[in-house]
Amino acid sequence: MKVLIIDDARVMRSIIANVIKENLREDVEILEAADGQEAFDLLERQSPDIIFVDWNMPRMDGLEFTKKVRGAGRMLPLIMITSEAARYMVVEAVKAGVTDYIVKPIVGRQLWEKIGIYFRK
C-alpha cells in the first residue's frame, strides 16, 4: 500500500505517517510532499492508494490540489486534514471531491479511529 501525505508542516506529516505505521499490520510506503504542486508532480511518477492533504499550503493549496486530482480522473480516497472548520469550507471541500474531512487538532488514537476505515476497505 502507498500513502501520500501532503502538508507543509513536517511535524504533521510525521504524526500522520507514524499513526498509519503503528496501526497497520501490512507493509506501507509513505510518500510525502510539502505542498499541492509538489504532490501533483509526484503523482506523475507514483500511484498512491490513498492521499491525506492539508488545506493551507504554499504554491498549491489542498482544495486546488483536490480539484486537479479529480479533474484528472483519479478516484482514490482523498482525506483532507486541516484546521479549517467553518461549515462552508467543509462543503466546498466535499464539492471539490474530498472523500472525508478531519479537523485539526487530532492525534494518535483519535486520528486512527477516523482514518483507519480507509485501510480496511
Distance of CA 3 to the CA centre of its chain: 8
Total count of domains within the chain: 1
Mean pLDDT value across the chain: 92
The CATH number of the domain where 104 resides is what?
A: 3.40.50.2300
Instruction: State residue 111's pLDDT score.
Output: 83
Average pLDDT, stretch 18-43?
92
Contacts of 46 (CB under 8 A, 6+ apart): 2, 4, 31
DSSP labels, 18-41? HHHHHH-SS--EEEEESSHHHHHH
Q: Pick the closest to residue 40 from 82, 3, 68 (CA basis).
A: 68
The pLDDT value given to residue 95: 97
For 34, residues 6+ apart whose C-beta sits below 8 A from its C-beta are 6, 7, 8, 10, 57, 58
Which residues, in sequence order, are bridge partners of residue 14?
none
Q: Above 90 in pLDDT, residue 22?
A: no
**pLDDT beyond 80 at 96:** yes
pTM, to two decimals: 0.92
Determine the structural domain holding residue 93 and report its residue range. 2-119
